[in-house]
Amino acid sequence: MLGRVQPQKSFGDEALELHVSDRHFLMKVSGLVDWAAFDHYWPGLYGATGNRSHDPLVCFKMLLLEQWYNLSDPECEAQCADRLSFRRFLGLSLADTIPDETVLVRFRKRLLKAGLAEPLFASVLAQIEAAGVIVKRGTLVDATIVQSARKAPPRDATGGDTDARWAVKNGRPVAHGFKAHIAVDDGSEIVRAIETTSGSVHDSVPMDTLLDRAPAQAVYADAAYCDAARRKRLRARGIAPRIRFNPRGGELTPRQTALNHRWSKVRAKVEHVFADWKERRSLARCRYEGLKKNALHFTLVAIAHNLRRWSVLAA
């Protein structure tokens, strides 16, 4: 049965607000988001009978905290119990119980079963778009490989994560895992679309799907996406294909070389997103086994990224 938190404020909770500045990153995010917009998603996660659940919004916020601060479920539980800023962000009083790690595991499974990763991503994106911070001048498309959680098997052998595959570059396997494909807004660095595939899928395969969800005046991508037919399709849609030219064994013309140099400066911004995810967030390596679990994780990382960028752009 769905349960919701209705904290009763005490003197201690008023002191909590005094000790956590409204300028704190979490308070900025909390003030920007209309959390009530997610209410219609939660009832479908629970039955009409049984014990009352922990507030699903609290659990969702805890999953966001995990991405921002690179925390595991047990670490997140401990930090939420200990840090005043986390409690205030969750909307919990000092007397409220923190959902434990097993609750987070079950909640993640419920999100997977209900297929809520993309709807939650889209709902957050809609609020950001309504705030007017997405430029839509250009879309940056790229992909990154994330190594599987289990030890990689030898190529052409079974074992490890059965959904993961070897990514191949220049005919040689480079990593075993999954790929996160993203479309990023040029002006704001907001992720407008994300797709997760096995590592063997070529970077360019999900491009059309990404652009369907993130149209713009122009698209910037590296030479892996260079294809004459794709350029033609993009132009037919009114999208300028600013995709680096690939010599494919020949030589580039001086004009193509100059365009590659110009476009690379714009396209490079998408690398900043992946670098942040891998170095500071939780995408250095897959946390879970299986395509669906990792797709949820990658999408949560993207949601957390967008909320963080929104807080910066709204400053």
What are the backbone dihedrals phi and psi of residue 25, each rounded to the nearest 5 degrees, phi first?
A: -50, -45
Contact status, residue 273 vs residue 182, Cβ threshold 8 Å: yes
User: Comparing 1 with 34, which gets the higher pLDDT?
Assistant: 34
**Residue with the larger pLDDT of the pair 8 and 208:** 208
Are 108 and 296 contacting, i.e. CB atoms less than 8 angstroms apart?
yes
Considering only residues 92 and 191, tell me which one the structure prediction assigns the higher pLDDT. 191
- What gap in Å lies between CA 132 and CA 135, rounded to an integer? 8
Task: Please write down the HEC assignment for all residues of the chain.
Answer: CCCCCCCCCCHHHHHHHHHCCCCCHHHHHHHHCCHHHHHHHCHHHCCCCCCCCCCHHHHHHHHHHHHHHCCCHHHHHHHHHHCHHHHHHHCCCCCCCCCCHHHHHHHHHHHHHHCCHHHHHHHHHHHHHHCCCCCCCEEEEEEEEEECCCCCCCCCCCCCCCCCEEEEECCEEEEEEEEEEEEEECCCCCEEEEEEEECCCCCCCCHHHHHHHCCCCEEEECHHHCCHHHHHHHHHCCCEEEECCCCCCCCCCHHHHHHHHHHHHHHCHHHHHHHHHHHCCCCCCCCCCCHHHHHHHHHHHHHHHHHHHHHHHCC
What is the arithmetic mean of pLDDT over 268-289? 94
| Residue 86 or residue 247, greater confidence | 86
In degrees, rounded to 5, the angle at the alpha carbon of residue 197 between the alpha carbons of residues 213 and 33 is 45
> Please, how many CA atoms are within 13 Å of residue 234, restricted to the half-sphere of its CB?
27
Query: pLDDT per residue over 129-151, tens digit each?
Result: 999 999 999 999 999 999 999 98
pLDDT the model gives residue 46: 86
Could you count the other beta carbons within 10 Å of the beta carbon of residue 76? 22
Share of the chain above pLDDT 70, in %: 92
Taking a C-beta distance cutoff of 8 angstroms, is the pair 204, 224 a contact? Answer: yes
User: Distance between terminal CA atoms of the chain?
Assistant: 39
Q: Can you give the pTM of this predicted structure?
A: 0.94
Contact between residue 216 and residue 137 where contact means Cβ atoms under 8 Å apart: yes
What is the rounded CA–CA span in Å between residue 107 and residue 294? 15
> What dihedral angle (degrees, nearest 10) is formed by the CA atoms of 195, 201, 204, 207?
-20
The model's pLDDT over 236-273, given as tens digits with 9 standing for 90+, comes to 999 999 999 988 767 899 999 999 999 999 999 999 99
Tell me the residue type at 1.
M
Q: Give the tokens for residue 298.
A: 């990658």
pLDDT given at position 1: 61
pLDDT score recorded for residue 10 = 55
Q: Is the pLDDT of residue 27 over 80?
A: yes
Dig out the tokens for 287 from the structure. Answer: 């946390």
Q: What pLDDT is recorded for position 53? A: 79
